[in-house]
A and B are shown apart, each in its own frame.
Chain A
């Protein structure tokens, strides 16, 4: 079965500083990888996704992520964070179950705090 690990429960970053959120996955084949962001009390918004091809993926809001197969990682980065980036970030892996369900397995999330 697949799994996702986000080792950092909380991360505090100063506004304007760079950001990297870590994500490691466990899956036997090539995974489908996602990053979602959740503002308090809200649903999830997709930031970016990786299916195949270029391992550096660009997303919305200035985020990017890099798929590294050798490290089983899919870390999320942003060169300069804004106060509005404060939120919960979830990494997820998807699998083709063959039954048409293609549900996602999520990590436990990383809570991003932005210091002024």
Chain B
């Protein structure tokens, strides 16, 4: 079975600072990878997905970017954080609707 590792678990960053959240997957190869954001009262929003190394698709325009340098590594980044980037970020792995979610990163931008 798949296991997703996400870190850090919590992060407090000042406005304008850079961001790097990492997600790694064990137990599978060539998974589809996803970044979701959960903002208060807004449910989960799909931010990015990747079907392979170097292949990134964005679902919504935003201040964030994603990269997939290795098959089982998915990184979420920002050059300059905004207050509106605060939220709970979840990485997911899956194919054919067999999804596994990481435990998430709580990001607070201050």
Contact B32 A102 (CB under 8 A): yes
A82 sits at the interface (CB 8 A): no
Contact A103 B59 (CB under 8 A): yes
- A41–B90 alpha-carbon span in the complex (Å): 11
- A54–B6 alpha-carbon span in the complex (Å): 36
Q: SS class of chain B's interface: helix, strand, loop or mixed?
A: strand
Given A42-B104, A43-B90, A44-B101, check contact A101 B51 (CB 8 Å): yes
How many interface residues does B have (CB within 8 Å)? 27
Contact A101 B44 (CB under 8 A): no
- A45–B92 alpha-carbon span in the complex (Å): 11
Binds B, one of A11-19, A59-67, A68-76, A106-114: A106-114
**A99 contact from B45, B51, B94, Cβ within 8 A:** B51
**B42 contact from A51, A94, A108, Cβ within 8 A:** A108
Chain A residue nearest to B59 (CB atoms) is A103
A28 sits at the interface (CB 8 A): no
Interface string of B70-110 (1 = CB under 8 A from A): 00000000000000000000101011110101111010000
Chain B residue nearest to A107 (CB atoms) is B43
B46 sits at the interface (CB 8 A): yes
What's the nearest-Cβ distance from chain A to residue B54, in Å?
15
What's the nearest-Cβ distance from chain A to residue B40, in Å?
10
Contact B101 A101 (CB under 8 A): no
Identify which of residues 9-45 in chain A touch chain B, using a CB-to-CB cut-off of 8 Å: 9, 32, 34, 36, 41-45
What's the nearest-Cβ distance from chain A to residue B57, in Å?
7
What's the nearest-Cβ distance from chain A to residue B21, in Å?
14
- A104–B32 alpha-carbon span in the complex (Å): 12
- A44–B44 alpha-carbon span in the complex (Å): 11
A-B contact pairs, 13 of them (CB 8 A): A9-B41, A36-B101, A42-B103, A44-B44, A45-B101, A92-B44, A94-B97, A101-B32, A102-B96, A103-B59, A104-B44, A106-B44, A108-B43
